[in-house]
């Protein structure tokens, strides 16, 4: 696991300043505190920060081929690198190290850009081909590793994190208004765009070629859901899933340093641990976090049960509202993109605990998107079936349900009641069902009149429409949308950047592309069966995972932030969001903001939205205003600094 960065000048007579590449790499030193390296030659500059995991002694980067004509900087792990190395050696390639990085260099010599087809793992890398004067940048299939770039008429800059790109003074910090609305619509920013006009994300399963000043982006992989079931025998499918998971976990355990497991107390993380237990030469440890707040389910007893069952050393912790606040500005600095993920702050503290013992963590991320684990999938499938069954009686049924809900006052009923007359493709933007965001309701006038004129709601929501018109059934449509958006642009951004904030490598065996392709080939009733989600996975793991965990109600990663935002942190939030500096940006109407706070104080209904606003303001102060955030920064200093910021203009 590492951090990479670089710059290519399009003019072959131009030179990249070595000090710039060094400055870029220094901003992401947390991604690689063990080593650094540079290759700066004329128009190209490559930078690297290393976290030593495999081949501790000879894994220095950048690394080249035998004659120095091809150079690479690489972030990630290639799990099939040993078999690829044997193939390449048989083809006459000479290796100087035992790293997976050098395998990619020689694989590129053999297959050019199609080398990505051979790789099994998580990766983001850049290859400079000096003979062809070509820069080749690629990102893994599911988007486990991040990669950003910014282009201008003169150059292209790229890095594992945006802050390294912003170290180049030529990159402008101009905010894109449409992306503010997209963030507030979805609670994250799906698609290739970011809040900064100049910075883009290379999409998962894509590579970028730069030659003679021209950029060409190609998609090399996609997840295909087959229209007809490929597995009619459930027992065989269960056995195949177990074999795939055993293989994937075995590959993800490859490491020259100790490996630990993040335990959520749920099926997916417990399954990862069960496949690893007793199969490593090094001791295995596990880590979890819990809360004792009223109304919040404590994950710790279930994590302890799993650790005890598989005989691993277990560590756990809890955090307070003050811990949450203290890390909040650093959360924004590390995430860089606007993402509303309060559980990420808990992830930071538990990975900080794990750092005392390991350099590698394994989690169950991706199991829900692969095998349909969210209750949202089941509920919407039944809703769509109901809509088909009642047909023209939808109006009468809706009226009866509305009358019932006037008595029950159920947020869940109200949510699905509003969908009875709307087709799936019109409302399923993401698993959050973003049309129910406070900011997407016309009656809630939060934007100022000036900013509202700059917002094109159709542009904000259209980013996912291309994924909704594929030839798939309803369940596969939802799984595909989430795999292309929610997974890489929210969950995996959080997983990578927050663990890397503690110089920890996070691995996700469920997101091995072979596991994902197998899941996509399954019939829908192997995923959602009646009222049971993740049906096949639960059947396949029923004799491996404790019964108490297998049949738990899904809780996600509970963090009592709603209570904290309404009580302990409310004064801090009001000082931040109603400060002169925040209001001068011109985005929001003060009365609309006060209305939002008032409604949230009553029932906590809009804590997610308020957290979004806090993230957005902190993001502006750290990135758009040209500031920075040292590790020792305290939340209060961002409130007291009332320096002028420019209002939004066309």
Confidence of residue 210 (pLDDT cuts 50, 70, 90): very high
Residue 16 tokens read as: 């990249």
Residues 262, 172 share a domain? no
Among 550, 575, 598, the domain-final residue is: 550
State which residues form the domain around 286.
234-372+481-550
Kindly give, in sequence order, each residue whose CB lies less than 8 Å from that of residue 194, ignoring residues fewer than 6 positions away.
Answer: 148, 162, 176, 179, 200, 201, 337
165/148 Cα distance (integer angstroms): 8
Q: What is the pLDDT of residue 79?
A: 95
> Average pLDDT in the 192-207 region?
97
Query: 539-595: per-residue pLDDT in tens?
Result: 999 999 999 999 887 766 678 898 899 889 999 999 999 999 999 999 999 998 998
Tokens of 381: 């499938």
Average pLDDT value for residue range 52-70: 86
191: which DSSP letter? S
pLDDT digits (tens, 9 = 90+) for 342-388: 999 999 999 999 999 999 999 999 999 999 999 989 988 988 888 88
Residue ending a domain, choose from 164, 190, 219? 219
pLDDT single digits (tens) 16-46: 999 999 999 999 999 999 999 999 999 999 9
Q: Is 471 a member of any domain?
A: no
Q: Would you place residue 47 in the very low, low, confident or very high pLDDT band (cuts 50, 70, 90)?
A: very high
At 394 the pLDDT is 66
pLDDT bin (cut points 50, 70, 90) of residue 425 is confident
Q: What are the pLDDT digits (tens) for 165-174?
A: 999 999 999 9
The arithmetic mean of pLDDT across residues 191-205, rounded, is 97
Query: Do 51 and 68 fall into the same domain?
Result: yes
Are β-strands 70-78 and 121-129 bridged in parallel, bridged antiparallel, or unpaired? antiparallel
Domain-ending residue, one of 520, 550, 580? 550
For residue 648, the model assigns a pLDDT of: 36
Tokens 């939030």 — which residue?
A: 573
295 inside domain: yes
C-alpha–C-alpha distance, residues 570 and 598, integer Å: 11
> What rounded mean pLDDT belongs to the chain?
89
Active-site entry in 2, 5, 115, 274:
2
Q: Where does 409-550 have alpha helices with state H?
A: 411-417, 424-427, 449-452, 457-462, 474-484, 486, 492-500, 513-520, 535-540, 547-550
Same domain, 65 and 98: yes
pLDDT value of position 296:
78
Tokens 């820069």 identify what position? Answer: 135
Same domain, 392 and 365: no
317 beta partners: 289
Please check whether residues 62 and 151 belong to one and the same domain: yes
Predicted local distance difference test score (pLDDT) of residue 404: 63
* Tens of pLDDT, residues 591-649: 989 988 988 887 778 898 999 999 999 999 999 987 665 444 455 555 555 433 333 33
Q: Alpha helices of 441-500 — where are they, by DSSP H?
A: 449-452, 457-462, 474-484, 486, 492-500
**Tell me, what CATH number does 162's domain have?**
3.60.20.10
Domain contains 587: no
Same domain, 6 and 135: yes
Q: Are residues 275 and 342 in the same domain?
A: yes
pLDDT surpassing 50 at residue 276 = yes
**Is 424 or 313 the better-scoring residue by pLDDT?**
313
Once rounded to an integer, what is the mean pLDDT over residues 7-11? 97
Interstrand relation of 214-219 and 2-9 (parallel, antiparallel or unpaired): unpaired
Domain co-membership, 211 together with 305: no
**Residue 46 backbone phi and psi in degrees, to 5:** -120, 135
- Alpha-carbon distance of 354 to 332, in angstroms, equals 21
Torsion angles phi and psi, residue 7, rounded to 5: -145, 140
Residues 244 and 340 placed together within one structural domain of the fold = yes
**What value does the mean pLDDT take over residues 223-244?**
87
pLDDT tens track for 79-107: 999 999 999 999 999 999 999 999 999 99
- pLDDT, one tens digit per residue, over 115-140 is 999 999 999 999 999 999 999 999 99
Q: Are strands 360-362 and 505-507 parallel, antiparallel or unpaired?
A: parallel
Residues 6+ apart with CB under 8 A from 636: 572
Task: Indicate the pLDDT class of residue 424, thresholds 50, 70 and 90.
Answer: confident
Mean pLDDT confidence for 392-421: 68
Distances (CA, A) of 6 to 24, 127, 149: 8, 10, 9
pLDDT, tens digit (0-9, with 9 covering 90-100), for 250-268: 999 988 888 999 998 899 9
Specify whether 296 is located in the same domain as 346: yes
Q: For residue 30, tell me if it sits in a domain.
A: yes
Q: What is the distance between the alpha carbons of residues 183 and 176, in angstroms, rounded to a whole number?
A: 11
Number of domains composing the chain: 3
**Tokens 């990619």 belong to which residue?**
104
| Residue 224 counted as domain residue | no
Beta-strand runs (E) in 65-179: 70-78, 121-129, 134-139, 148-151, 155-159
Report d(CA 243, CA 43) in Å as an integer: 48
Question: Two tokens at 621?
Answer: 């102060």
Same domain, 253 and 117: no
626 three-state secondary structure: coil
Whether residue 280 is contained in a domain is answered as yes
Is 188 in contact with 194 (CB distance < 8 Å)? no
Q: What's the CATH number where 507 sits?
A: 3.40.50.620
Report the C-alpha gap between 341 and 344 in whole angstroms. Answer: 6
* Distance between CA atoms of residues 608 and 613, nearest Å: 9
Across residues 501-524, what is the average pLDDT?
96
Distance in Å from the first CA to the final CA of the chain: 41
Residue 256 confidence (pLDDT): 83
User: pLDDT: is 232 or 266 the higher one?
Assistant: 266
**What's the pLDDT at 395?**
67
Strand 148-151, strand 155-159: pairing: antiparallel
Please check whether residue 381 lies inside any domain of the structure. Answer: yes
Asked if 115 is an active-site residue, the reply is no
Q: What is the pLDDT of residue 602?
A: 76
Q: How far apart are CA 478 and CA 468, in angstroms?
A: 8
In this prediction, residue 386 carries a pLDDT of 84
Side by side, the strands of the sheet bearing 505-507 are 313-317, 284-289, 259-262, 360-362, 505-507
* 328 and 390 fall within a common domain: no
User: Is residue 473 assigned to a domain?
Assistant: no
Strands of 134-139's sheet, edge to edge? 63-64, 70-78, 121-129, 134-139, 206-211, 214-219
Query: What's the rounded Cα separation, in Å, for the pair 490 and 461?
Result: 16
């Amino acid at each position: 696991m590492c951090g990479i960065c670089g710059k290519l000048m399009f003019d072959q007579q131009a030179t990249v300043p070595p000090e710039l590449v060094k400055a870029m790499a220094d901003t992401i030193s947390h991604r690689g505190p063990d080593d650094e390296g540079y290759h700066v030659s004329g128009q190209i500059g490559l930078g690297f920060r290393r976290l030593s995991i495999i081949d501790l002694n000879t894994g220095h980067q950048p690394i080249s081929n035998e004659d120095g004509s091809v150079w690479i900087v690489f972030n990630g792990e290639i799990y099939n690198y040993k078999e690829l190395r044997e193939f390449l050696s048989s083809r006459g390639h000479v290796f100087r190290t035992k790293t997976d990085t050098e395998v990619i260099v020689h694989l590129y010599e053999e297959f050019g850009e199609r080398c990505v087809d051979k790789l099994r793992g998580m990766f983001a890398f850049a290859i400079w081909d000096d003979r062809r004067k070509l820069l080749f940048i690629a990102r893994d299939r599911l988007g486990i590793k991040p990669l950003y770039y910014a282009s201008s008429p003169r150059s292209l800059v790229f890095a594992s994190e945006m802050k390294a790109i912003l170290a180049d003074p030529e990159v402008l910090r101009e905010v894109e208004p449409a992306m503010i609305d997209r963030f507030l619509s979805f609670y994250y920013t799906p698609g290739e765009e970011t809040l900064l006009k100049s910075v883009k994300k290379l999409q998962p399963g894509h590579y970028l070629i730069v030659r003679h000043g021209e950029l060409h982006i190609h998609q090399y992989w996609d997840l295909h859901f087959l229209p007809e079931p490929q597995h009619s025998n459930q027992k065989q499918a269960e056995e195949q899933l177990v074999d795939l998971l055993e293989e994937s976990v075995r590959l993800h355990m490859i490491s020259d340093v100790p490996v630990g497991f993040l335990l959520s107390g749920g099926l997916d993380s417990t399954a990862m641990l069960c496949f690893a237990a007793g199969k490593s030469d090094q001791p295995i440890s596990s880590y979890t976090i819990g809360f004792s707040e009223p109304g919040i389910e404590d994950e710790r007893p279930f994590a302890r049960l799993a650790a005890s069952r598989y005989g691993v050393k277990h560590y756990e912790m809890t955090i307070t509202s003050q811990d949450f606040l203290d890390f909040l500005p650093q959360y924004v600095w590390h995430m860089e993109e606007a993402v509303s993920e309060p559980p990420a702050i808990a992830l930071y503290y538990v990975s900080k605990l794990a750092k005392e013992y390991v350099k590698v963590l394994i989690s169950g991320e991706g199991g829900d998107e692969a095998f349909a684990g969210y209750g949202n999938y089941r509920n919407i499938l039944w809703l769509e079936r109901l809509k088909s069954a009642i047909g023209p009686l939808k109006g009468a049924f809706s009226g009866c349900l509305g009358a019932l809900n006037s008595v029950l006052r159920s947020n869940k009923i109200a949510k699905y009641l509003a969908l009875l007359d709307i087709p799936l493709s019109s409302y399923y933007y993401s698993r959050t069902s973003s049309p129910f965001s406070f900011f997407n309701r016309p009656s809630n006038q939060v934007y100022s009149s000036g900013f509202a004129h700059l917002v094109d709601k159709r542009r904000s929501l259209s980013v996912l429409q291309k994924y909704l018109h594929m030839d798939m059934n309803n369940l596969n449509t939802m799984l595909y949308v989430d795999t292309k958006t929610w997974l890489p642009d929210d969950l995996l951004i959080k997983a990578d950047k927050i663990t890397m904030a503690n110089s920890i490598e996070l691995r996700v065996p469920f997101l091995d592309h072979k596991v994902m392709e197998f899941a996509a080939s399954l019939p829908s009733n192997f995923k959602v069966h009646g009222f049971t989600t993740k049906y096949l996975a639960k059947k396949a793991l029923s004799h491996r995972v404790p019964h108490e965990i297998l049949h738990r109600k899904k809780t996600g990663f509970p963090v009592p932030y709603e209570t904290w935002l309404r009580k302990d942190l409310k004064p801090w939030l009001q000082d931040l969001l109603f400060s002169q500096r925040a209001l001068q940006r011109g985005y929001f109407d003060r009365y609309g903001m006060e209305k939002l706070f008032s409604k949230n104080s009553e029932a906590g209904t809009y804590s997610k939205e308020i957290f979004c606003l806090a993230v957005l303001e902190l993001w502006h102060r750290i990135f758009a205003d040209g500031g920075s955030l040292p590790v020792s920064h305290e939340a209060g200093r961002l409130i007291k600094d009332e320096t002028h910021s420019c209002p939004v203009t066309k």
